[in-house]
Structures are given as C-alpha cells and as structure tokens.
C-alpha cells in the first residue's frame, strides 16, 4: 500500500516539477516582455505585473512540497550532529511532524481565505480571486501529504534499523 502511494506521489512530483518549470518560463518571458514594452516602446502592459506576481506565487507554492519530499529544505545541524543518533532521529521526526502540522493548518486557513474571496475578481487581470489564492491550498495540502509520507518512512526506518546513522535536523 505504501509503495503504491509512493509511486503516485512520484508521479505527482514529476507533474509539479514540469508545471513549475513551465510557470518559471512563463514568468520570465512575461517579465522580459513587460521590460521591453515599458522601456523600448514606452507602452507598459497593464496586466503583466499582476500576472507575473501570481505566476511566481503559484510556482513557489507548487515547488514547496517537492523541496520537502526531496529533503532539500535547509537546516541548521551544527548542534544536532553532536547528539546521539536516536536524539537526531527524534529531532528530525519532530521537525517533520511540525512541518506536517503547518501544512495542514495552512491548507485549512487558505481554504477559508478562498471562501472569503469567492465572487471577487482580481481587477487588473480579470481572474476570480479564489483561483489566484488556490495555490496556497494546493501547495499546503501537498506539503502535508508529502511530509506525512516522510514521517511514515522515517518511523519505519527507525523501527527496522535501530543502529542506522541518523539524519541531521
């Protein structure tokens, strides 16, 4: 069962990576276009700044769970490396639980934000506000799910290999 979930998450991660790459390209092209239109032609695009901003937000929110799943998050482990292996494992697990809790709470409050803005439209780009803010729900929800996967894997690894090297927090 966990292997199948891992395979599904692998697929989701690939989709997120491709999507965020496309968003980065769109963001870069749109920003370049805005600079050219503003400075070369003296006619800035009215919608490009707001669109670029929300493309960037979507890109960041969609890549946040990928960073967590790939264990690419930054950590300060100077002190924890001095601790016994089991203490290192416990601290890593505690951090993962806190990140999962953050993801869940962020998802819940982002949903409430989208509900509050239902019916509102982003004036500069004419898109419904919940579509813009939905990036937070998607990113936070996936952060929660991916972190729960890490927690389960971490607990299973700790139970199977008690003498295993600990990872740093």
Instruction: Give the pLDDT confidence of 96-107 residue by residue, as tens digits.
Output: 999 999 999 999
Tokens of 146: 């991916």
Q: How far is the C-alpha of 111 from the C-alpha of 65, rounded, in Å?
A: 17
pLDDT value for 169: 44
Indicate the SS3 state at residue 74: coil
Tokens of 56: 């960037």
Query: Is 47:31 a contact under the CB 8 Å cutoff?
Result: no
For residue 117, pLDDT over 80 is answered with yes
Helix axes of 129-160 and 48-69: crossing angle, nearest 10 degrees: 10
Distance from chain centroid for Cα 40: 36
Q: What is the mean pLDDT of residues 66-80?
A: 81
The share of the chain scoring above pLDDT 90, in percent, equals 66
């Amino acid at each position: 069962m966990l292997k199948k979930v891992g395979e599904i998450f692998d697929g989701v991660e690939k989709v997120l990576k491709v999507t965020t790459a496309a968003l980065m390209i769109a963001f870069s092209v749109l920003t370049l276009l805005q600079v050219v239109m503003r400075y070369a032609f003296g006619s800035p695009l009215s919608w490009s700044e707001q669109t670029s901003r929300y493309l960037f937000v979507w890109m960041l929110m969609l890549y946040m769970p990928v960073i967590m799943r790939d264990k690419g998050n930054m950590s300060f482990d100077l002190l924890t490396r001095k601790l016994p292996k089991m203490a290192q494992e416990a601290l890593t697990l505690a951090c993962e639980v806190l990140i999962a809790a953050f993801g869940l709470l962020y998802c819940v409050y982002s949903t409430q934000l989208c509900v509050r803005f239902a019916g509102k439209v982003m004036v500069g780009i004419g898109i419904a506000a919940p579509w813009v803010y939905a990036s937070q729900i998607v990113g936070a929800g996936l952060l929660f799910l991916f972190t729960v996967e890490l927690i389960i894997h971490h607990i299973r690894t700790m139970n199977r290999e008690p003498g295993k090297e600990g990872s740093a927090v």
